[in-house]
Amino acid sequence: MNGRTPDPGNPRVAAARLLRQLADGRSISDLLEQGLEAVSPRDRGLVKEFCFGVARWRPRLERIAGQLLSKPIKPKEGEVQALILLGLYQLIYMRVAPHAAVAETVEAARLLRKAWAVGLINALLRRFQRERETLLALADADPLGRYAMPGWLLERIRTDWPEHWEAILQATNCHPPMSLRVNLATNNREQYLSLLAASGIEAAPIPHVPSGLVLDTPMDAEALPGFTEGRVSVQDGGAQLAAVLLDLQAGQQVLDACAAPGGKSGHIMEAAAVQLTAMDLDQRRLERVRQNLQRLGVTAAVVQGDAAKPQGAWADRQYDRILLDVPCSATGVIRRHPDIKLLRRAQDIPALVKIQGEILRAVWPLLKPGGLLLYATCSLLSDENEEQVRRFLEQAPDARERVIMADWGHCRPVGRQTLPGEATMDGFYYACLEKI
């Protein structure tokens, strides 16, 4: 070991440890909150790139590693498995010099006191360099390897989107753009574009989204002109459609029933002078809602509650508008959260469908006659989307669909869907339901 001790600040060591924990079912975002503390600020972006990149391409990287290994790495050696995938990721997808990628990954194994794996990792990565084209061709021969997607999810997307599945899978493996929501209550989009240009920041309007801009190059949100004053927020263009679809009018009572982290709540308050109740089950995430609203300089009732079991003061009134952004598989936002590929399982979907239906049925009585409920997910799966709403409409005689007439997204049997990558957007599903 040459006297070496583990170095938690080494970017590859840090990434290997975080990726090992990802196998335990924890999200990258949660892991990074504490996992970057020992890493220098200069290297934190690199650790994030390692973690998100390996998660994005893991099914493909694992297939390639399987071709190179004579036998699988034991589950207890998760850090070694992570280093192998990390080395392959650098050689295939990053601009790290190949010799540096190999040497630094091998050194990380030494720092992790995995002496037995040093020679293995070195030989494996060097063999990949020699046989690169053959190994990549073998990975591409199988759709699971080509699109780096778990088999069950690939099949679900191919079934639900027979004409679009390949474009969807390609888009999920792309780095997402940084999209902005201009606060139209304080400035218009053209004014803010000029403000960005004056700061040397290039951006373009998002089609079909009056408040939306997409940056040419991502940057720190707090460095955006007027961000701390609430003139602009970071939000995907597809998510910005919600406030538009709610057809808000001043003075209305509005419920955002699954509000955290508060992006859509903030947009609602920017769109009209309404009385908003932002409710969520997670008290910790509600703090994010409060912070978002405070930065925008708006006031709403922020309350903890269970949308599946409405009770308390927020459930004792009726609302003109309800936004129901239900818990879902999040398969429409994989390009932003690639660890969804690893964390989500086929058996999760029926449980999500069940709770979505329970929430929709529980919240519906809180809508005034003549009111509008917007059912929303960031899922691509029909069971969670149009089939969920269709089942509800069959069971609720006082509900009818208000057809979304728009030139964005795709018309579904009920509701409308955006797909990842189209017009810069993530994948969102929306259905407008009116109470008769």
- Does residue 2 carry a pLDDT above 50? no
Neighbours of 284 (CB within 10 A): 8
Q: Which residues contact 375 (CB under 8 A, 6 or more apart)?
A: 324, 326, 360, 388, 389, 415, 429, 430, 431, 432, 433
Which is catalytic among the residues 51, 258, 328, 378? 378
The average pLDDT across 25-38 equals 89
Greatest CA separation for the chain? 76
Q: Is the pLDDT of residue 8 over 80?
A: no
Reply yes or no on whether 378 is catalytic.
yes
- pLDDT tens per residue, range 253-285: 999 999 999 999 999 999 999 999 999 999 999
Q: At what angle do helices 11-22 and 98-111 cross, to 10 degrees?
A: 70
Q: Which of 206, 273, 272, 198 has its CA nearest to residue 234?
A: 206
What pLDDT sits at residue 153?
98
Mean pLDDT computed over every residue of the chain: 96
Say if residue 5's pLDDT is above 70. no
The SS3 assignment for 228 reads coil
Task: Flag whether pLDDT at 4 surpasses 60.
Answer: no
Under the banding of pLDDT at 50, 70 and 90, the label for residue 3 is very low
Number of other CB atoms surrounding residue 419 within 10 Å:
21
Separation between Cα atoms, residue 210 and residue 395, nearest integer Å = 35
Residue 184 burial (10 A CB sphere; 0-12, 13-18, 19+): middle
Q: Which helix (H) or strand (E) holds 322?
A: strand 319-325
Q: Are 294 and 264 in contact (CB under 8 A)?
A: no
Task: Annotate 245-295 with DSSP letters as a single string.
Answer: HTT--TT-EEEETT-TT-HHHHHHHHHS--EEEEEES-HHHHHHHHHHHHH
Which among 262, 264, 323, 259 has a CA at the least distance from the CA of 294?
A: 262
Query: Using one digit for the tens of pLDDT, what is the confidence trace for 178-187?
Result: 999 999 999 9
pLDDT for residue 6 = 57
Any idea which residue has 């589950």 for tokens?
75
Single pTM value for the model: 0.95
Pairing of strands 253-256, 319-325: parallel
With b meaning 16 or more CB within 10 Å and e meaning fewer, what string describes 87-115? bbbbbbbeebeeeebbebbbbbbbbbebe
Kindly report, residue by residue over 103-115, the tens digit of the pLDDT: 999 999 999 999 9
Residue 119 contacts by C-beta under 8 Å, 6 or more apart in sequence? none
Distance CA 385, CA 409 (A): 14
